[in-house]
Amino acid sequence: MNLDSAVFYSKDIEKIADFYKNFIGLAIHDRQGDNFVSFIFPNGGKLSIRMEKGDREIAGHQTVFISCDDIDEQFRQMKEKNANIIADLENYDWGSRFEISDPDNNKITFIKYK
């Protein structure tokens, strides 16, 4: 079984599209004006972001996990870009992780498994 896609909610699609495209480095897969944008990962997984509308669609309450080959370099780049780092790079028995937040306060956890 593989994850096909996940959905976040945002208060500002333009700002969040710029963040994930230019700050994180993901390619835009689809864009529907100021209501929706999706990004595609190299493995084909998609992260979609919609404008918040309903009671369950609240920006800032979601988390996405991004695996990376060189987590030390990824962490260095995020620090260099002045990312909002909410958990520094830590090493565990299973691997390593660090966390940043996007402009809507959604959590992005970067991981590297051993």
- List domains and CATH numbers for the chain: 5-52+60-113 (3.10.180.10)
SS3 state at 21: helix
111 vs 56 pLDDT, higher one:
111
C-alpha distances in Å from residue 52, one per residue of 36, 40, 106: 10, 21, 13
pLDDT tens-digit map of 5-55: 889 999 999 999 999 999 999 999 999 999 999 999 988 899 999 999 888
Distance CA 17, CA 24 (A): 10
State the pLDDT confidence band at 2, using cuts at 50, 70 and 90: low
Q: What is the pTM of this model?
A: 0.89
- The predicted pLDDT at position 4 comes to 73
- The predicted pLDDT at position 3 comes to 67
